[in-house]
C-alpha cells in the first residue's frame, strides 16, 4: 500500500508516518513546516515533499500512485482561528478541496480525514456521540465542519470512501509547547520552567484525552478496514478534570509549582467525553486508559528532547 500523509511532519502526522512504515506502507509526506518539524521524521524511510496543501498542483503530483490519502495538514486552534479566520479557512477548506481534486485526478479510492470535536460547539450532553448536533462556535470548528461536508459530498459524487475522524484532546510524543495549543504541553512547559500553572475557571471542567499512539492506529485501521464512508469520534471514552490533570502531572514530576485560577474563557465547554462505541465496534480498537503512564512517558520525552529544541 502507498499513502500520502499531509501534515506528516507534525505532531500527529509524524506518529502516523512511523506506524505506517512499521506496517510496510510506502509513505509520501507533504508538509510546509509551518508547525511541523523535519526532525520528527528523522530515521524514517518516507519521501518528504516540502509544500503547502493550498498548492493544488503540488498535492496532485505528490499523491500520484497513492492508495489512500491521510489528510492531517491543517490550521489548528480556536484562538488562532478567531484572530485570523481567513487563513484558517484557506488552509482547512481550500486545502481540503485540493485533496479531493488530487483523489479525483489520480483515482485514489480512500481519504482518511483528521477532523475535530470542535465541530460540535457548545455541548448539549456531556457524553458525545457522532449524532450530536454540530454547531461550532469558532472559525476553526466551522472550517473543520465545512471540510467534512465537502469530503462527504465528494464521496457521493466521485466514488470515494471518506472516513472522518473527529479528534478529542490528543496528546503524546512530538507534541511541543504552543500557547494556542493543548493544555498538556502548556502545563508541561510551565512545570519544567517552574512557572505557575494557570487554570481557567474552577478546574472542575472535564476533558477526554487520547494518546497519539492510539490516534495513529485508528488512522491505520480506518484505512484498511473501512469499506464505506463514515465518521468516528476519536477519544478515550474517559474524562478527567483539569484539576486532576494538573495534580497528576505535578506528582509525576515532583513539582511544587503553584496552581492559579483565572476567569473562565468565553466558549470553553464545561464537560466533554467521547462516546467511542462506534469506533470500538467497527474498527475493533480499544484506546488506552493508562493516562498516568502515558503522561509519564510524555513528560520524560519532553524534558529530554523537546525542551532543548524549542
User: What is the domain-level CATH number for residue 92?
Assistant: 3.40.50.720
pLDDT at 153: 97
Question: Strands (DSSP E) along the chain, which ranges?
Answer: 2-6, 26-31, 47-50, 68-71, 110-116, 127-128, 161-167, 169-171, 197-200, 206-207, 209-211, 230-234, 240-241, 259-262, 273-274
140 a catalytic residue: yes
260 and 127 fall within a common domain: no
- Mean per-residue pLDDT over the chain, rounded: 94
Q: What are phi and psi of 97, to 5 degrees?
A: -60, -30
Domain total in the chain: 2
Mean pLDDT of the 269-277 span: 90
257 and 111 fall within a common domain: no
180 and 256 fall within a common domain: yes
263 and 224 fall within a common domain: no
Instruction: Specify if 181 maps to a domain.
Output: yes
Q: Using an 8 Å Cβ cutoff, are 172 and 211 in contact?
A: yes
186 and 41 fall within a common domain: no
Give per-residue pLDDT as tens, 145-180: 999 999 999 999 999 999 999 999 999 999 998 877
pLDDT at 309: 53
Per-residue confidence at 268, pLDDT binned at 50, 70, 90?
A: confident
**In the numeric block, which cell numbers belong to residue 173?**
510524543
115 and 33 fall within a common domain: yes
294 and 229 fall within a common domain: no
Does this model's pTM top 0.85? My answer is: yes
Instruction: Specify if 282 maps to a domain.
Output: no
What domain range includes position 301? 172-207+238-273+288-309
Question: Within 13 Å, how many C-alpha atoms sit on residue 281's CB side?
Answer: 7
Q: What are phi and psi of 45, to 5 degrees?
A: -85, 70
> Is 202's pLDDT higher than 60?
yes
CA quadruple 172, 177, 181, 187: dihedral, nearest 10: 80
Catalytic residue among 120, 140, 167, 220: 140
- CB contact burial 144-172 (16+ within 10 A = b; e otherwise): bbbbbebbbebbeeeebbbbbbbbbbbbb
CATH of the domain at 192: 3.90.25.10
Query: Which of 223, 158, 174 lies closest to 1 in space, CA to CA?
Result: 223
73 and 213 fall within a common domain: yes
Instruction: Specify if 126 maps to a domain.
Output: yes
**In the numeric block, which cell numbers belong to residue 124?**
448539549
Mean pLDDT of the 194-212 span: 95
Instruction: Specify if 213 maps to a domain.
Output: yes
pLDDT at 307: 46
40 and 135 fall within a common domain: yes
58 and 190 fall within a common domain: no
Mean pLDDT of the 193-205 span: 95
Amino acid at each position: 500500500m502507498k499513502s500520502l500523509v499531509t501534515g506528516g511532519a507534525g505532531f500527529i502526522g509524524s506518529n502516523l508516518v512511523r506506524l505506517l512504515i512499521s506496517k510496510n506502507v510506502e509513505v509520501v509526506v507533504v508538509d510546509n513546516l509551518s508547525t511541523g518539524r523535519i526532525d520528527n521524521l528523522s530515521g524514517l524511510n518516507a519521501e518528504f515533499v516540502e509544500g503547502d496543501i493550498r498548492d493544488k498542483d503540488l498535492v496532485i503530483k505528490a499523491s500520484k500512485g497513492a492508495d489512500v490519502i491521510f489528510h492531517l495538514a491543517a490550521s489548528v486552534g480556536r484562538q488562532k482561528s478567531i484572530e485570523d479566520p481567513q487563513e484558517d479557512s484557506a488552509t482547512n477548506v481550500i486545502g481540503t478541496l485540493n485533496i479531493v481534486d488530487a483523489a479525483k485526478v489520480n483515482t485514489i479510492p480512500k481519504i482518511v480525514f483528521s477532523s475535530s470535536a470542535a465541530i460540535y460547539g457548545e455541548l448539549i450532553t456531556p457524553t458525545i456521540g457522532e449524532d450530536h448536533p454540530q454547531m461550532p462556535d469558532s472559525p476553526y470548528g466551522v472550517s473543520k465542519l465545512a471540510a467534512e461536508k465537502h469530503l462527504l459530498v465528494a464521496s457521493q459524487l466521485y466514488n470515494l470512501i471518506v472516513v472522518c475522524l473527529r479528534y478529542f484532546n490528543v496528546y503524546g510524543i512530538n507534541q511541543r509547547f504552543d500557547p494556542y495549543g493543548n493544555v498538556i504541553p502548556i502545563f508541561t512547559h510551565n512545570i519544567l520552567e517552574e512557572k505557575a500553572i494557570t487554570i481557567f475557571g474552577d478546574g472542575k471542567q472535564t476533558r477526554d484525552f487520547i494518546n497519539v499512539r492510539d490516534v495513529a492506529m485508528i488512522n491505520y485501521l480506518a484505512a484498511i478496514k473501512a469499506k464505506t464512508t463514515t465518521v468516528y469520534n476519536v477519544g478515550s471514552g474517559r474524562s478527567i478534570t483539569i484539576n486532576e490533570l494538573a495534580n497528576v502531572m505535578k506528582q509525576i514530576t515532583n513539582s511544587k509549582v503553584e496552581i492559579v485560577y483565572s476567569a473562565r474563557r468565553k466558549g470553553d465547554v464545561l464537560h466533554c467525553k467521547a462516546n467511542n462505541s462506534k469506533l470500538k465496534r467497527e474498527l475493533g480498537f480499544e484506546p488506552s486508559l493508562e493516562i498516568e503512564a502515558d503522561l509519564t512517558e510524555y513528560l520524560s520525552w519532553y524534558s529530554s528532547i523537546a525542551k532543548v529544541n524549542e
